[in-house]
Amino acid sequence: MSTETAASPRSSVSTHILDTSIGRPAESIAVQLSARSGSAGEWTVLGASATDADGRCKDLPAPPEGTTHVRLDFETEAYFAKKQAEEQQDAPRVRDSGAFFPEVAITFAVQPGEHYHVPLLLNPFGYSVYRGS
């Protein structure tokens, strides 16, 4: 019998963003993945990506062994600024300037070996998230 212990399976994280105000994926939103071990641990940035034409980030790194919490930071301000500029070219209207939520940070607990798909449903004045499959 071997005295080596098997490494704990690592968790994995994926996400996608749907703009519910237009019923379409949200493209080109920067996403940063951070992790920590324990509630009082320091956050470590693991990587960054941007959503593709389907609103998905397919290249986020796996959190390291020992990770207990993960945070996804979505930079939504530039997306809404671009969207607002495009809308005003076609039909100017009075609207708040800038994004109500210039960024969205989602923090969640993880267990080794589990996959976490965290969709963000986004609109100019609200958002929701859930654990997908």
Quote the pLDDT of residue 3.
44
User: Could you give the percent of the chain with pLDDT greater than 90?
Assistant: 74
Q: Where are the domains of the chain?
A: 12-129
The three-state secondary structure class of 3 is coil
CA distance 2 to 54: 46
CA distance 94 to 52: 30
Q: Is the pTM of this model over 0.75?
A: yes
Fold of domain 12-129: Immunoglobulin-like (2.60.40)
pLDDT confidence band for 4 (50 / 70 / 90): very low
What stretches of the chain adopt beta strand conformation (E)? Answer: 12-19, 24-25, 30-36, 44-50, 56-57, 69-75, 103-109, 115-123, 126-129
Q: What is the mean pLDDT of residues 127-131?
A: 97
Quote the pLDDT of residue 85.
73
Least confident of 14-23, 65-74, 89-98, 117-126: 89-98
pLDDT confidence band for 2 (50 / 70 / 90): very low
What stretches of 37-94 adopt beta strand conformation (E)? Answer: 44-50, 56-57, 69-75
- The residue that leads in pLDDT, 9 or 27, is 27
CA distance 101 to 36: 24
Q: What is the mean pLDDT of residues 54-79?
A: 95
Nearest residue to 38 (alpha-carbon basis) of 6, 74, 66: 66
Q: What is the mean pLDDT of residues 37-60?
A: 95
Does position 109 have pLDDT exceeding 50, yes or no? Answer: yes
Structure tokens at 131: 């654990």
